[in-house]
Structure 1
Amino acid sequence: MNDSPGWATPGSPSDGEGSDGSRPPAQPADTSKWSASQPPPGQWSSPAAGQTPPPQQQGPGWGPYAPRPGQQPGHQPGGPYGGPYGHPGGAGGWGGPPPAAKPGVIPLRPLGLGEILDGAVSSLRGHWKTVLSVSLVAAVLVQLGLLGVQRLMRDRLVVSPEPTTPGELADTMGDTLIAGYANYYLQLLGLLLVTGLLAGVVSSAVLGRSTTVAAHLRGVRPLVPRMLGLVGLLLLGSLAAGLVPVLPGLLTGNGVLAVLGAPVGIVLLAWFFVTFVLALPALMMERGKVADALKRSAKLVKGSWWRIFGISALTWAITWITSMIIAVPFAAVAVLVSPGGLSDILDGTSAQSWTFLLITAIGGLISLTITVPMQTGVTSLLYIDQRIRREALDLELARAAGVHDQGDHGAVTQRPGGAGPASGG
């Protein structure tokens, strides 16, 4: 049997057989000759920026610069962000995209929940004079309206100590529902007004620009008639969505029927509110027409209804808890100074006391002044976020803020598969 050259042990005799035709005994391998003939062991090191490996290291296989299956020869890794090392001008591994530019309160890219909430709070903190001035005026108007409703309903909401008939109980339920709806829609009116007036403040905060109360009011003055018209339409639509299901019970005096229709009204009201929640920011930032703002809101919300609903509901829950924290101490003080004390609270006669109403109104005024700007800030940032996701508004915002696509400010990148720069209107 003949030996093949490739099967000889390194360091074994090359002739293979002795003079008598027999094979000599196997000798231990001479490892010194084997190790001396090999190249020195390689060491991994990351190439310096802009340096390419020598040609002999670019052969086939799975080396750092070897082409993968389906790639063309000479392809260099780095993904859609360019550069051989993962990001423009960078070195050292498969890095992700560079951080987004952040000229103001938010980074110019699609936003997460925490960034939206933080941006709303930062807008309030950075422009507190303008924000609190506007929200205070709106809160005063809302509280005056609530005070009037409470005084009008003072006799109807008193709980009688004597047993009541089913009809009287139904009437009480209906009156309570009316008072609740009046309270909600008055606060909604204030929320809509503040949203329209403060949308420009949030826009300035996103661009990192400061503003004064006088300058802001001069900027929104030409849009006030259109804003009031849109607020009126949104309020009428909300009234129709929320009241139509309970209207049969209210007209017939059947409180039970009205209460049964309330859940249907809540569902319709939620659909209407979320669908057109971005209309006021669209009107004030794009400076278009009322009808165009309604269409823009419906278009931007389409496909993201549940996300916007969830963020809006969470914001409402946060502001409600904050309102309770502020209002409860004032209510406690009102009970202490009320002539009848806790007994008047239980039977409802405290609503007839101006002392009780005024003290609780002060607590409500403070809570509305603080919490309403939080809700309006979230709504305006949701509008900006939806345009970034749908229309690459971040590119236009970067240009408006004087931030370039590359450099020390970070980078503004186009969404994968997204459109080009969005138009301003």
Structure 2
Amino acid sequence: MNDTPGWASPGSAPSDGREPGASGPAGSDGRPGPDESADRPRQSGDAPPEPGVQWSKDQPPAGQWSAPTGTPGAGGPGQAPPPPPGPGWGAPPPGGPGGQGAWGGWGSGWGGPPPAAKPGVIPLRPLGVGELLDGAVSTMRTHWRTVLGISLTLAVLTEIAAVLIQGFVLGDADTEVLDDPSATLGELTDVMGDLLLSSAVLYGITLIGTVAATALLTTVTSRAVLGRPVTTGEAWRDARPQILKLFGLIVLLGLIAVGIAAVGALPGILVSVSAGAEVGFGLTLLGLLAAAVFAAWLLVRFSLASPTLMLEKQGIVTAMRRSARLVRGSWWRVFGIQLLAAIIAYVVAAIIVIPFTFLAAAFSGDGVTGFVSTTGGDIGWTFLIISGIGSVIGSMITFPITAGVTVLLYIDQRIRREALDLELARAAGVQGADGTGRS
């Protein structure tokens, strides 16, 4: 008889009430006759049946074989019912597939691995994009006093610097040249250079604010992952020893970006000096475009250096190397997630800033129509201050999103590569060393 649990060969149970082992007269060739072979159960040493020999006298109609509904030997005439299933084998539990009634499981109630533990804002396992975004928002919602206090302080400082740059640099730029069809190429180049410089400075200030927010909110997010509260004072005490290194990292990343841009623009500048601006302008623009692509690739590789520096207490160069190792092989994923977070933050900021922009235009003297028709050089201090208030509110909300996604992305990459979830589970006091709640 076949000993495979749950399945038995057709005809293995005795038919016609004949007991197993009962024998009848043999045929002329020493083998059992057709009637006997149909009723006698096959033994392990028997040869396979010859073609044309029936399994039993009474065959069921074709196409009506079905899977067994119990353990082997159950349901035969004169046999006792099988014992109740043990912990390893047995009938499938009722209720549905996946351990809820599916046949063939190794044990009763098997439905796949248990869910990962979630002591804080994220489950302790590799995360999806939605879970990263939800974790950042949950951190801001759970620890809103600490998060918004840090974000508000950084937003005010960065916006004051941005307003001063726009008022003294961008306000002096003669942007009316851009609307003058008779302007020379040199005048256009000077204005474009001023605008690019001011835009680069504004972007640098925003980058400093974002990186600083990421660093200061790293402690808050790491505690939120473990389900533990944190105050602004605790976040500051944890980040203070690494503040100088953090600004050194920011300066180094900025110098790298500027150096790449200079190398990309250098061939066009040399051609412009030797053959004229008309000849070298296109080459300069192409070089800057190539430099921007390479700088973006490099900055994504170093994008996890800030949380690495703050959480692992590493040096600047070591943190950059660690970031490059964590991002290696996942560049597109890291880039896509950070780009999505940046787009979401930009949309949220725009929803908040646009009403303040129109309000600033209404109070600036020329009204909304004047704001739409005027150039950048006509923007006054009233407009900059009122719109700056809107930017502060927008940054106060968007800083935690971008910073939280960066920190959680760092944790996710370490979970995927270094099984950080086990250490986090032990730190959070989760039962079981594997972070799943199993002992």
| TM over 0.5, shorter chain | yes
Q: 2:116 aligns to what?
A: 100
Separation of aligned partners in 1, 2:203 and 2:268: 19
SS in 1 for 2:120: coil
Q: How big is the shift at 1:379? A: 0.7
- For the 8 Å contact 1:398–1:412, the answer to whether it is kept is no
8 A contact 1:170–1:256 mirrored in 2: no
- Structure 1 residues 49 and 180: CA distance shift in structure 2, 3 A: farther
> Counterparts of 1:181 and 1:49 in 2: how far apart (Å)?
71
User: 1:143 offset after TM fit, Å?
Assistant: 1.1
Which residue does 1:50 correspond to in 2? 87
1:380 equivalenced with 2:407 (yes/no): yes
1:198 matched to 2:225? The reply is: no
1:145-194 per-residue CA deviation (whole Å, 9 max, x = no partner) reads 21122121213143245432333233333332222222211111111111
* Structure 2 portions without partners, runs of 5+: 1-26, 39-56, 60-74, 93-97, 99-103
- What is the CA-CA distance between 1:210 and the residue it aligns to? 0.2
Mark the CA change 1:156 to 1:52 in structure 2 (over 3 Å): closer, same or farther. Answer: closer
- Asked if the contact 1:350–1:356 (Cα under 8 Å) also holds between the matched residues in 2, the reply is no
**Counterpart Cα distance in 2 of 1:178 and 1:308:** 29
1:82-104 Cα deviation digits (max 9, x unpaired)? xx956xxx7334x2111001110
Q: Which amino acid aligns with 2:244?
A: P
Q: Distance in 2 between matches of 1:165 and 1:41?
A: 108
Q: 1:150 to 1:401 in 2, by over 3 A?
A: same
The CA deviation at 1:390 is 0.8
| Alignment match of 2:173 (pick from 133, 149, 156) | 156
Task: Check 1:390–1:162 CA distance in 2 against 1; reply closer, same or farther (3 A cut).
Answer: closer
1:210 partner SS: coil
TM-score normalised by structure 2 residue count: 0.72
Residue 351 of structure 1: CA displacement?
A: 4.3
Is contact 2:88-2:108 (8 Å) kept? no
Instruction: Name the counterpart of 1:274.
Output: 300
Counterpart residue type for residue 148 of structure 1: L
Query: In 1, distance between residues paired with 2:329 and 2:425?
Result: 26
**More displaced, 143-152 or 184-193?**
143-152
Per the alignment, residue 201 of structure 2 pairs with 182
* Residue 209 (1) aligns with residue 228 (2): yes
Aligned CA-pair RMSD: 3.6
CA shift in 2, pair 1:48/1:267, >3 Å:
farther
Partner-residue secondary structure (3-state), 1:159? helix
Give the alignment of 1:82-121 within 5 angstroms: 91-93=108-110, 95-121=111-137
Given that 1:248 and 1:258 are in contact with CA atoms closer than 8 Å, whether structure 2 keeps it comes out as: yes
Relative to 1, partners in 2 of residues 1:171 and 1:109: Cα closer, same or farther, differing over 3 Å? same
The 1:243/1:121 distance shift into structure 2, 3 A limit, reads farther
Instruction: Specify whether residues 329 and 309 from structure 1 end up closer, same or farther in structure 2 by C-alpha distance, changes over 3 A only.
Output: same
| 3-state SS of 1:209 partner | coil
Are the aligned partners of 2:414 and 2:420 in contact in 1 as well (CA < 8 Å)? yes
Q: 1:39 aligns with which of 69, 73, 76?
A: 76
Cα distance in 1 for partners of 2:124, 2:185 equals 59
State the partner residue of 1:59: none
Aligned pair partner of 2:391 in 350, 353, 364: 364
Q: Distance in 2 between matches of 1:305 and 1:30?
A: 68
Kindly indicate whether residue 151 of structure 2 is the aligned counterpart of residue 135 of structure 1: yes
Tell whether the 8 Å contact from 1:158 to 1:347 is kept in structure 2 after alignment: no
Instruction: Map Cα deviations across residues 63-91 of structure 1 (whole Å, 9 max, x no partner).
Output: 99xxxxxxxxxxxxx9xxxxx956xxx73
Aligned equivalent of 1:339: 365
The residue aligned with 1:231 is 250
Other-structure match for 1:144: 160
**Preserved contact between residue 327 and residue 363 of structure 1 (Cα < 8 Å):** yes
Q: Specify whether residues 142 and 412 from structure 1 end up closer, same or farther in structure 2 by C-alpha distance, changes over 3 A only.
A: farther
Cα distance in 2 for partners of 1:219, 1:45 equals 65
Displacement, 1:139? 1.3
Partners in 1 of 2:360 and 2:219 — Cα distance? 38
Range that drifts further, 355-364 or 154-163: 154-163
Q: Relative to structure 2, which stretch is displaced further, 249-258 or 305-314?
A: 249-258
For 1:99, give the aligned amino acid: P
Match of 2:342 among 299, 311, 316: 316
SS in 2 for 1:136: helix
2:185 aligned to which of 150, 166, 178 = 166
Change (3 A) 1:123 1:320: same
C-alpha distance in 1 between matches for 2:154 and 2:116? 36
Give structure 1 stretches of 5+ with no counterpart.
12-28, 32-37, 54-62, 65-77, 79-83, 414-425
Fraction of identical pairs, as percent? 45
Map 1:16-31 onto structure 2 (within 5 A).
none
The 1:96–1:246 alpha-carbon spacing in structure 2 relative to 1, beyond 3 Å, is same
Amino acid at match of 1:328: I
- Deviation per CA, 1:349-397: give whole Å up to 9, x if none: 5644111111111111111111011111111111111111111111111
Alignment match, 1:126: 142
Cα distance in 2 for partners of 1:357, 1:250 equals 34
Using the TM superposition, give the Cα deviation of residue 48 of structure 1 relative to its aligned residue in structure 2, in angstroms: 5.2
CA, structure 1 residues 40+393, in 2 after alignment: closer, same or farther (shift >3 Å)? farther
